[in-house]
Each structure stands twice: as C-alpha cells, then as structure tokens.
C-alpha cells in the first residue's frame, strides 16, 4: 500500500466518542460535529447509550451525517432475533454496526446482516480485540472467527491496533474486507502501525483525541504521525 499523505491519513482515522460521565455527553456530541468533517467519521457505543440514552446515539449519527462513517459499537453478541431487535431500534442513521464474530452464522449473524441490509447499514465483525485478554480465548480461535467472517461476508472486521501482526494475519485471510483497528493511543497502539504494518483501512482513536482540549489538532496530529510512519515500511 502506498504511504498516505497527511490529508489522506486523516481520512483513515475514526474518532471514538465515549463519555465517562453524563456531563461529557454534550461535549462529545459537539465534538462529533467538529471531527466529522475532518476525519473518517465517529464511533459511539455503550457509554453514549448508557449516559445519553438512545437520543444521544441518534443525535451523534445526525450531527455526523454527510461528514463520514458513523459506526455504532454495541458489540452485539446474542441470538439473531435479539440482535435484530437491537439493530432495528438503535442502528437507524448509522452506516455500520459492530457485532462479535463468535456468535456464528446460523440463527445469529445471518439474521443481523439481513436486518442491517434492510436499514442501509453495514455489518462489522470483531475477530480479535485490543486488550491483553484477547489472547485468552479470542486469539486462539482466530482462524475459526475468520472462517465465520468469510461465511458472513461482512463489510468490515475489527482487529487490534495494539498487535499489528494480528491485523496482518486478518488482512492476509480477508484481502478485500475493510479492517478497522482500535487501540491506538490510550491502549498503547502507535498511530500508523495497524495501517502501515498490518494493512488496516482505518484506525480508531478514542481518548487520545476525544480527551484533548483541541480534538481537531489532536486528530491532525495522529494523521501526521501515520503519514510519517508509513514511509518507514
Ligand atoms: P480508546 O480511548 O482506548 O478507545 O482509544 C478505543 C475505542 O475502541 C473500542 N475498542 C474496541 N472495539 N474491538 C472493538 O470492536 C476491540 O478490540 C476494541 N478495543 C477498543 C472501545 O470500545 C473504544 O470505543
């Protein structure tokens, strides 16, 4: 892959907006508006749902409309029927929704994918995670999880920026599937590793950008780092 210039690199960074307390919700919604036109888009999930309600999720999607990818991260992991109900009530207005690959195809992900198709949203499957505990159960099952992903044919998969070698394995197995890589910054992943070493399409950055007093500059800083890192490849 050619190294991205800064202007292109910033369009490869998705900002995770996760409020830690109720008072953060409005600030992060304002941030959605700010970062959406600049970066690749936003990701919101359980913290925003728990502290701001379904209205805050819908508002985040609305504020980012036309400004980039809007990813709903509920990491769904239930039977198809329940995931369908959750997707129908919460994923409207989003471009993509994340679920766990370990749920499997029959009676699970096939139904969720159909539901999301009907809502005009794309499915993203978690095949590995960015925290160390991913090594306990998920990573020994990576081949099986990738087999599920091959069968479900999601638009995207999630693989950890903290371990670019895992991202590279995912890229090898799924050459055309979009890879989103969280774990940059606060969790120790270096900006650019997942894209430049692993072949990811997007890096997801939360606290490093959302916790900054100047999130747009922080986002541009991440992009500069990515652009500078790739030529070393
Ligand atoms: P920070 O603040 O650590 O936020 O940059 C990271 C964001 O990414 C999410 N996250 C993950 N999502 N699989 C996922 O699907 C993962 O392995 C993973 N690791 C982090 C996290 O929910 C937060 O929004």
Q: State the pLDDT at residue 230.
A: 84
End-to-end Cα distance, the chain: 10
Per residue in 121-153, pLDDT (tens digit) is: 999 999 999 999 999 999 999 999 999 999 999
- What DSSP designation does 211 have? T
Residue of 132, 117, 14 lying closest to 73 (CA atoms):
14
C-alpha to C-alpha distances, 170 to 39, 92, 158, 176, nearest whole angstrom: 24, 29, 9, 10
Contact 187, 130 (CB under 8 A): yes
Per residue in 144-178, pLDDT (tens digit) is: 999 999 999 999 999 999 999 999 999 999 999 99
Hey, which of 129, 130, 135 would you mutate to test ligand 1's pocket, going by the most ligand atoms within 8 Å of its Cβ?
130
CA dihedral of 32, 33, 35, 38, whole degrees rounded to 10:
150
Q: State the pLDDT at residue 5.
A: 84
Per residue in 48-87, pLDDT (tens digit) is: 999 999 999 999 999 999 999 999 999 999 999 999 999 9
Tell me the pLDDT band of 3, cut-offs 50, 70 and 90.
low
pTM for the model stands at 0.96
Q: In terms of DSSP H, where are the helices of the chain? A: 6-9, 24-36, 46-63, 80-90, 110-119, 142-152, 164-173, 207-210, 215-229
Is the C-beta atom of 186 inside 6 A of ligand 1?
A: yes
The ipTM of this complex is 0.96
CA of 192 to the centre of ligand 1 (A): 16
**Rounded to an integer, what distance in angstroms lies between the CA atom of residue 184 and that of residue 83?**
28
Specify the residue with its C-alpha closest to ligand 1, atom 11: 182
**Rounded to an integer, what distance in angstroms lies between the CA atom of residue 56 and that of residue 44?**
9
Contact 130, 152 (CB under 8 A): no
- Chain-centre distance for alpha carbon 73: 7
Q: State the pLDDT at residue 2.
A: 59
113 is catalytic: no
Tell me the pLDDT band of 4, cut-offs 50, 70 and 90.
confident
Q: Which of 11, 75, 114, 144 is catalytic?
A: 75
Is the C-beta atom of 211 inside 6 A of ligand 1?
A: no
Is the C-beta atom of 183 inside 6 A of ligand 1?
A: yes
Tell me the pLDDT band of 32, cut-offs 50, 70 and 90.
very high
C-alpha to C-alpha distances, 67 to 33, 37, 42, 81, 128, nearest whole angstrom: 8, 5, 9, 32, 28
pLDDT over threshold 80, residue 43: yes
């Amino acid at each position: 892959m050619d190294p991205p210039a800064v202007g292109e690199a910033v369009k490869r960074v998705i900002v995770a907006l996760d409020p830690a307390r109720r008072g953060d919700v409005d600030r992060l919604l304002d941030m959605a508006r700010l970062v959406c036109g600049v970066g690749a888009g936003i990701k919101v999930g359980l913290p925003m749902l728990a502290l701001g309600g379904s209205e805050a999720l819908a508002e985040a999607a609305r504020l980012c409309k036309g400004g980039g990818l809007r990813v709903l991260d509920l990491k769904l992991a239930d039977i198809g029927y329940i995931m369908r109900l959750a997707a129908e009530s919460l994923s409207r207005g989003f471009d993509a929704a994340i679920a766990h690959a370990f749920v499997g195809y029959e009676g699970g992900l096939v139904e969720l994918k159909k539901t999301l198709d009907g809502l005009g949203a794309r499915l993203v499957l978690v095949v590995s995670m960015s925290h160390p505990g991913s090594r306990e159960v998920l990573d020994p099952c990576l081949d099986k999880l990738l087999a599920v992903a091959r069968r479900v044919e999601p638009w995207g998969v999630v693989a950890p920026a903290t371990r670019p070698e895992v991202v590279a394995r995912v890229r090898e197995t799924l050459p055309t599937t979009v890879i989103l890589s969280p774990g940059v910054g606060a969790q120790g992943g270096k900006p650019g590793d997942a894209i430049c070493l692993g072949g990811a399409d997007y890096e997801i950055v939360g606290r490093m950008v959302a916790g900054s007093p100047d999130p747009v500059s922080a986002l541009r800083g991440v992009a500069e780092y990515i652009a500078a890192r790739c030529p070393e490849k």
